[in-house]
Amino acid sequence: MKTIGIIGGLSWVSSVDYYRIINEQVNQRIGGVDAARIILYSINYGDIVRLTRQDDWATITTIFCDAAKKLEMAGADCLLLGANTAHRVASEVQAAIKIPLLHISDVTAKAIEEKKLNTVALLGTKFTMELDFYHDILRNHGIATIIPGDADRDFIHATIYDELGKNVFLPETKQRYLEIINHLIKEGAQGVILGCTEIPLLIKPEDVSVPVFDTAEIHAKAAVEFCLEAVSSIRYKV
């Protein structure tokens, strides 16, 4: 079994979910009491939020590259950036290490392709929704994206930082998200990317009338596929 390196704490709320999903998936695949080999480097989310508000992506890149190098030195065989927005600097992080970085946008695009969809709504921070780093990869897979209007983007961005990242999930916030999603469906979205790893803790597939793409789960499962390549045929009985 290979070892998964995760840059987490982005926020800790979704890092818990990554850890749970990866271990559950490995145990389901192997059995017994087996679980994943994981090295987690947890960053202070507060530092990253302050730096994004200062638009200091150079310092963010340095922090992530330093963490990635330490995970590689510690024995990680692959790297996960445990947040969608962090992938704004994914190419710089990948250039700093020799192990593969499993890109969240790429594995999400492949999941959308499996559903044979070509137009999806994208929810996340304003960086994820507005900048090209996410849209470009989806476009390369033949997938068009629809994003909310200005006021709705502001709302989603604020709730990610002020509520979801603090493990606060309010019913009125969920209702507003669903209203935004339903509007995007009317505009032609065939599916919805929950492009912030905390949003799937608020919005569930059964809440939405079209396919929902939980990026944290998709990303975590991609890591499991990677780490179990050499042991995919192993099964234990309890």
pLDDT per residue as tens digits for the range 149-198? 999 999 999 999 999 999 999 999 999 999 999 999 999 999 999 999 99
- List, in order, residues 6 or more apart from 195 with CB less than 8 Å away: 84, 108, 122, 123, 124, 128, 129, 134, 215
In whole angstroms, give the CA distance from residue 23 to residue 37. 9
Q: Are 186 and 165 in contact (CB under 8 A)?
A: no
Look up the domain containing 188 and give its range: 105-215
Same domain for 143 and 199? yes
Let me know the angle formed at the C-alpha of 35 by 32 and 36, rounded to the nearest 5 degrees: 150
Same domain for 9 and 94? yes
Query: What pLDDT, on the 0 to 100 scale, is given for residue 231?
Result: 53
Put the strands of the sheet holding 212-214 in their side by side order. 144-146, 119-123, 191-194, 212-214
In whole angstroms, give the CA distance from residue 200 to residue 164. 10
Count other Cβ atoms within 10 Å, centred on residue 139.
13
Read off the pTM: 0.92
Same domain for 78 and 163? no
The tally of domains found in the chain comes to 2
Same domain for 53 and 24? yes
Q: Note whether residue 47 is domain-resident.
A: yes
Confidence bin at 229 (pLDDT 50/70/90): confident
Same domain for 34 and 130? no
Same domain for 39 and 130? no
Same domain for 93 and 79? yes
What CATH number does the domain containing 31 carry?
Answer: 3.40.50.1860
Buried b (16+ CB within 10 A) or exposed e, 209-230: ebbbbbbbbbbbbbbbeebbee
pLDDT tens string 110-158: 999 999 999 999 999 999 999 999 999 999 999 999 999 999 999 999 9
Same domain for 134 and 175? yes
pLDDT tens string 7-60: 999 999 999 999 999 999 999 999 999 999 999 999 999 999 999 999 999 999
Same domain for 127 and 47? no
Q: Note whether residue 237 is domain-resident.
A: no
In whole angstroms, give the CA distance from residue 62 to residue 65. 5
Q: Note whether residue 112 is domain-resident.
A: yes
* Residues in a beta bridge with 191: 120
Count other Cβ atoms within 10 Å, centred on residue 98.
7
